[in-house]
Amino acid sequence: MEPKQILNKLNQARRALDSLSQVEIIDEWKFENELNAWYLHLGIAIEYKTTYFPPISQWYIVVDSNYPKGKIKVYPDVKNSITVTLYHQANNSKIERNGLWRKGALCLEVNTISDFQSEPYSIDERLLYHVKRTINWLELAAKDELVADSEPFELPEFNLSNVLEMQFAFSEDIVTFMQWESTDCRYGIAELDVYKSKPFVYYVKQFKSLNGSIEHYTQWGNYLSKTNISPPINAPWILLKQPPVINEWQAPETLGDLIDACNSQHIDVLNVLKNVVSKIRDGRRHLLLLGFPVPKTFGGEPEIVFWKALYLPVVSYGKKTAKGFRTNQQGWWLRDKSAVLTRKTKLDWIISENWNQQEISQRGKMNDFLLRKKILLVGAGCIGSSVAEIFVRAGVYNLTIVDSDLFEVGNLSRHVLNMSNVGEFKELSLCSHLNSLNPHANINVINDTLTIDEGSKTNITLDKYDIIIDCTGENSVLDVFQKVDFRKSHIIASISVGLGAKHLYLTIMSGNTFCFNSFYKLISPYIQSERDLFDDYNLPRNGIGCWHPTFPARSDDVWLAAATAVKAIENYIITKSEKTLSIVYEQRENDGLFEGYILVDKKEDG
């Protein structure tokens, strides 16, 4: 779009601001070449008095060149506006290179100012909408009402290093918070491992005191519990009393800022650093972990420890001592204070994330009642692997998989595994894959086939599990369940699909004795009709199963079947049903539109 056309749109949007008596246009639209954006300089008057900004504060509205699309940001004027950082504001410590505004953009999202409706995108309305929200933000700031007690807590913005490709992961919740509350140790050395590179992802395994005693241990799943780097990477850690901030709600940018933030908490961070860096004088850069308690809501009590990681410069070591001092801790520390860890030392913050299971599962998980159950899944084929992946992604980690088949090239069309797994045992590769899906997954495997002897004893101890799910589609597995003398009550489910996965067959029952005659009777007509329909196919089959790689069913059919079966099983479990349920789903289309699986037959006993 030509600059003249863009300016015409911007001027049309600016004229809409004339309706706001609180707004004064100081300078009309100008173009910023380096940012490739347009900016409007205006003053805003509010009736509330505050020390944060003058009665008429000045602001820059910066918009993309494709207005009304693109971003709109509101920045404070360098001289006549806010200089501190408040809640719902980006870090306001730095000035844009043009020298006109600070970089502390106001956060004007819907969730921060709830009185406003969704953002309009017309030429006349969008700019007006953002200026109105700016006025509202300023009024709330002047009244110290930018956050409500019930509002979810947010950390200040820590300016991340733009050159360091690394992240840090930890796992903290209310339980670990209470563990931290019970210890007096407030600094020491943490042991880290590396999950991956490009970017490097460091994760903490344990926190130790300076004398080597373990103060806190992080319980990870199978994938992260293994040792990737030996010896472990050392990182000093310091537990603060609250988030380190200066200038109201600004995260530290330099070591001097951090010193000031800690001084406000009566913590002599330089003295702490003197002690902890004595353990990392090896000529390498190390992470420094700063922990602090945070609440769930702004008005709540602290209930979790959050860790922020920064990358320290190389501290003094070897012959690098203060002039005239020996190569000992005193000489090294004097050089650190004068040349390495000065007030001007920039803090290289890196991405830090809480990988606790509660945080991960916020986007979707199974019912808590099901999550507490021990599950045995028999069969690691296309249906079994898909069911297992759905379970694990939804928070089911106490899962054991039974199988002994090899993964073949034909399985690639619909199995969750890939080419690198061809020729490997399905269950072993699937176990590794599932454990990699979540840092807390503890998936185990039994490389065997379920069998039973003449004394009704199985080669696998089934009574260890609360829920047993058969995904083999083989009648022989159900025959085993019928013969077992279970000592406690279980929930048993069997999932299988017909030819082309056009039908899904599912039975679920609970108790300590099981009979599948009603299930066989229900599905028999459907299986027979499929055999007649697909008579031209020379299909290798075993019972009602889909175990063979040439069995005709696409991956989307298999995933749909697995998802439907998982939902049915979850519903059966959370309703605590004691009935024997046998059901048949069928794929349906209506007038050329796919409708999904439809329940077409059902039988309940008990």
Q: So what's the pLDDT on residue 542?
A: 43
Give 36-86 pLDDT, tens digit per residue: 999 999 999 999 999 999 999 999 999 999 999 999 999 999 999 999 999
Q: So what's the pLDDT on residue 4?
A: 85
Q: So what's the pLDDT on residue 500?
A: 86
**Tokens (6 digits) for 2:** 């030509």
Q: Is 115 a residue whose pLDDT tops 70?
A: no
Rounded CA separation 353/217 (Å) = 17
Q: What is the average per-residue pLDDT within 85-113?
A: 90
Q: So what's the pLDDT on residue 443?
A: 97
Strand order in the sheet with 37-45: 23-32, 37-45, 56-64, 72-76
Per DSSP, the residues of 319-379 read T---TT--SSHHHHHHHIIIIIS-TTPBPEE-EEEE--HHHHGGG----HHHHTS-EEEE-
Per-residue DSSP letter, 13: H
Find, among 306, 365, 295, 363, the residue nearest to 172 by Cα: 306
**One-letter-per-residue 3-state SS of 419-433:** HHHCCCEHHHHHHHH
Mean residue pLDDT across the chain? 93
Q: Is 550 a residue whose pLDDT tops 90?
A: no
Give 468-514 pLDDT, tens digit per residue: 999 999 999 999 999 999 999 999 999 999 988 999 999 999 999 99
User: What are the residue ranges spanned by the domains of the chain?
Assistant: 3-142, 166-359, 364-605
Q: So what's the pLDDT on residue 393?
A: 95
Q: Is 529 a residue whose pLDDT tops 90?
A: no
Q: So what's the pLDDT on residue 405?
A: 94
Q: So what's the pLDDT on residue 279?
A: 96
Q: Is 113 a residue whose pLDDT tops 70?
A: no
Per DSSP, the residues of 67-121 read TTSS-EEEEEBSSSS--SB-TTB---S-B-TTSSBBS--B---TTTSTTS-PPP-
β-pairing, 287-294 vs 304-311, is antiparallel
Q: So what's the pLDDT on residue 549?
A: 42
Per-residue DSSP letter, 541: -
Q: Is 544 a residue whose pLDDT tops 70?
A: no
Q: Is 537 a residue whose pLDDT tops 60?
A: no
Rg (CA), the chain: 31
The percent of residues in the chain predicted with pLDDT above 70, rounded, is: 96
Rounded CA separation 105/88 (Å) = 9
Q: So what's the pLDDT on residue 534?
A: 65
CATH fold label, 3-142:
Ubiquitin Conjugating Enzyme (3.10.110)
User: Do 498 and 525 contact (CB within 8 A), yes or no?
Assistant: no
Give 575-605 pLDDT, tens digit per residue: 999 999 999 999 999 999 999 999 999 999 8
* pTM, to two decimals: 0.90
**Tokens (6 digits) for 602:** 């059902």
For residue 515, name the pLDDT band (cuts at 50, 70, 90). Answer: very high
Q: So what's the pLDDT on residue 110?
A: 61
- 305 DSSP β-pair partners: 293
Give 284-315 pLDDT, tens digit per residue: 999 999 999 999 999 999 999 999 999 999 99
Give 147-201 pLDDT, tens digit per residue: 999 999 999 999 998 878 899 999 999 999 999 999 999 999 999 999 887 889 9
Q: Is 540 a residue whose pLDDT tops 70?
A: no
Q: Is 545 a residue whose pLDDT tops 90?
A: no
What is the rounded end-to-end Cα distance, in angstroms, of the chain?
71
C-alpha angle 578-580-586 in degrees, rounded to nearest 5: 130
* Cα dist from 564 to 385, 399, 499, 567, 595, whole Å: 14, 19, 17, 5, 13
Rounded CA separation 415/407 (Å) = 9
Q: So what's the pLDDT on residue 162?
A: 80
Q: Residue count of the chain, please give it.
A: 606
Q: So what's the pLDDT on residue 1?
A: 61
CATH number at 364-605: 3.40.50.720
